[in-house]
Chains A and B, each alone.
Chain A
């Protein structure tokens, strides 16, 4: 009995960490930063040159289900046309270090670059600090195959003065006279109805589509007044993810179950009336 006890003791001691509290911020997450993954993506783009078609996997809200997230990533690894993954936030549920580390472990299984955007749940507790250390900036933009992807923080309850409209407009502008093939916005939360004029601002700035999570089910819609389409991927626990198909001058979207046996094309966004929504909220 004594020997068993000492063996158990030694095993457990070597296997766990000395943690001061649930709110430590030093998450161990190698290789997941935006900077590292954009460098990987740039190297990949250079290796393949210009292509006429590629896909982007859109994964959202994997919080509390790292195993499901890992399974999705391992499946996306098998999809050759997917060039990179957009992870649209809510990796953590309560913003504690351990939750981020489990997700990072799952992300380490990916053979494709993963570009991550902060979600509202990631911002809880000391998640904002962890995010800056592990992933990097809340707002950033990058170019791939002549298309502009602009990732922005729109977690309004957790941050002041977001999203940054001027910055968003600036990122969509042509650089050195080069027009973008597509301009695509990426954030955790779809445009808020209370953020008056934001959607029109995106549209007027040249955005063609925005991609999101947060709502825990697939959706595709646009406000009737500006017709800028918004695609929302489901929560990953279902499991499921979205696929963005990018062609020169054309964007197409698919809802995809984990194994992608059933793919539902999204061709026409549902129209939504802002006026009707406000009336419904007032009645409620």
Chain B
């Protein structure tokens, strides 16, 4: 199964690179994507970014050792404001949104329902949808760092379904209860 996933990921990455306006590599930490998550992607029609990646979390007190793979899409809003610090130019793209499919690899998670269960008993526990917001600081034309806020599938569903619960119990319109943060860096070739 692992080999199949890696093969699919490599094919996707190769396909992306062939058709993209530009190719980038992305290194992220946190925001549900692993302690480290390395992706390769392409930029299409300027504002649309698609990437495929591999993440990893080592064995920790609060986490089993796990690898994960992802396929992500991000829309980068063209609005950007620029500023200079010590004669060096920077830019900030404040509002960008994306979503991705994250697949965890661990013996306690499953993509296909194990034989012991009746058909349709559970949805796959290894496959999760992650929705995210990014603010990007452009360090140069090729390199940028970003701050990422993500929401897991069940978080979005629960918030939409019962917004009062989250607004009553968590700060910032209840978003505190469903959001996670991370950061990363991208370099474009």
Contacts and interface: CB of A to CB of B under 8 A. Distances in A.
Given A1-B81, A15-B172, A126 B179 contact: no
Interface string A1-28: 1100100110111011111111111100
Interface in A1-57: 1-2, 5, 8-9, 11-13, 15-26
Dominant secondary structure of chain B at its interface with chain A: mixed
Given A9-B147, A23-B109, A96-B152, A16 B158 contact: no
Interface stretch (A59-67, A79-87, A139-147): A59-67
Interface stretch (A98-106, A173-181, A184-192, A217-225): A98-106
19 contacts: A5-B92, A12-B133, A12-B172, A15-B172, A15-B176, A16-B180, A20-B35, A21-B32, A21-B34, A22-B104, A66-B158, A66-B165, A70-B165, A94-B125, A98-B154, A105-B169, A121-B122, A125-B109, A126-B64
State the 5 A-B residue pairs at the shortest beta-carbon distance, nearest first. A67-B165, A67-B162, A26-B62, A16-B179, A19-B180
Given A12-B133, A16-B149, 9 more contacts: A16-B181, A20-B35, A21-B63, A21-B66, A96-B152, A105-B177, A106-B165, A125-B108, A125-B125
Interface size on A, as a range, is 35 or more
Interface string A90-120: 0001111011011001100000000000000
B57 A102 contact: no
B30 interface: yes
Contacts of A8: 94
Nearest to B152: A22
Given A5-B135, A157-B121, A15 B171 contact: yes
A18 B148 CA distance: 10
Interface in A128-181: 157
A22 B108 CA distance: 13
Contacts of A2: 81, 83, 92
A68 B176 CA distance: 19
A140 B104 CA distance: 33
A24 B62 contact: yes
B182 A18 contact: yes
B108 A21 contact: no
Contacts of A18: 30-31, 180-182
Interface of B: 30-35, 55, 57, 60-64, 66, 68, 81, 83, 92, 94, 102, 104, 106, 108-109, 116-117, 121-123, 125, 128, 130, 133, 135, 147, 149, 152, 154-155, 157-158, 161-162, 164-165, 169-172, 175-182
Contacts of B55: 21
Given A15-B171, A70-B165, A64 B181 contact: no
Nearest to A23: B104
A124 interface: yes
A12 B179 contact: yes
A5 to B, nearest CB: 4
Nearest to A4: B94
A99 B125 CA distance: 13
Contacts of B172: 11-12, 15
B139 to A, nearest CB: 17
B179 A15 contact: yes
A19 B31 contact: yes
A20 B81 contact: no
A17 B60 CA distance: 17
A157 B116 contact: yes
Contacts of A66: 158, 162, 165
